[in-house]
Amino acid sequence: MNAHPTYFRILGTVALALLGFFLPRFLGGSSHVYDTLGTIASFSAMSYGLDIILSDLGEISLAHTAFFATGAYASAILSVDYGQGAWVAMAGAVLAALALALVLGLITLRTREFAFSLVTYAAAVVCMNIAANWDFLGGSDGIVGIPPLALTIGPLSFAASQPPQFWPFAYGLLLLTLYVVHRFRRSRLGQAALMVHMNPRLASMCGVDGNRVRLLVFLVSAPISALAGWLYAFQRAYVGTDLFDTYFLVLMLTGVILAGRRLLLGPLLGTALLVGQKSFFSLGAYGDKLVLGAVLVGVLCFCPKGLASLWPRAPGRALRQM
Partner 1 sequence: MNIAQQLVNGIIIGHAYALVAIGWTLLLGAARLVNFGHGQIYMVSAFVAWWIMSMTGAPYVLAVVVAIAAGAVIGAIMQRLFLRLTLSQDLVNLMIATLGFGQILEGAAGLTFGPKPETLTSPLQAVTFDFGPVWFTAQDALAVGATILVFLGLHVVLNRTRFGAAVRMVAEDPPLVALYGIPISRVYISIFAFEGAAVALAATLIAPRTPILTSMGFEQVVMTFVVVVLGGIGSVGGSYVAGLLLGLFTAIFSALISPAYTTAAVFALLIAFMVLRPGKLAAGGNFAR
C-alpha 230/C-alpha 146 separation (Å) is 11
Candidates 16-24, 104-112, 204-212, 268-276 — which segment interacts with partner 1 by CB under 8 A? 104-112
C-alpha 38/C-alpha 282 separation (Å) is 17
Q: Rounded to the nearest whole angstrom, what is the least distance from the CB of residue 290 to partner 1 in the complex?
A: 3
Q: Rounded to the nearest whole angstrom, what is the least distance from the CB of residue 125 to partner 1 in the complex?
A: 5
Q: Rounded to the nearest whole angstrom, what is the least distance from the CB of residue 133 to partner 1 in the complex?
A: 4
H-run or E-run covering 149: strand 149-153
Q: Does 230 bind partner 1 (CB under 8 A)?
A: no
Q: Rounded to the nearest whole angstrom, what is the least distance from the CB of residue 26 to partner 1 in the complex?
A: 32
Q: Does 281 bind partner 1 (CB under 8 A)?
A: no
Q: Which of 43, 48, 67, 121 binds partner 1 (CB under 8 A)?
A: 121
Nearest to 93 by CA among 129, 42, 141: 42
Q: Which residues pair with 193 in a beta bridge?
A: none
Q: Does 312 bind partner 1 (CB under 8 A)?
A: no
Burial class (CB in 10 A: 0-12, 13-18, 19+), 177: buried
8 Å CB contact between 164 and 22: no
DSSP 3-state assignment of 92? helix
Of the two residues 168 and 293, which places its CB atom closer to partner 1 in the complex? 293
Candidates 35-43, 124-132, 204-212, 218-226 — which segment interacts with partner 1 by CB under 8 A? 124-132
C-alpha 295/C-alpha 258 separation (Å) is 8
Q: Which of residues 74-103 bind partner 1 (CB under 8 A)?
A: none
Q: Does 31 bind partner 1 (CB under 8 A)?
A: no
In this structure, how many other beta carbons lie within 10 angstroms of the beta carbon of residue 294?
Answer: 11
Interface positions with partner 1 (CB under 8 A): 59-60, 107-108, 110-111, 113-115, 117-119, 121-123, 125-126, 129-130, 132-133, 246-247, 249-250, 253-254, 257, 284-297, 300-301, 304
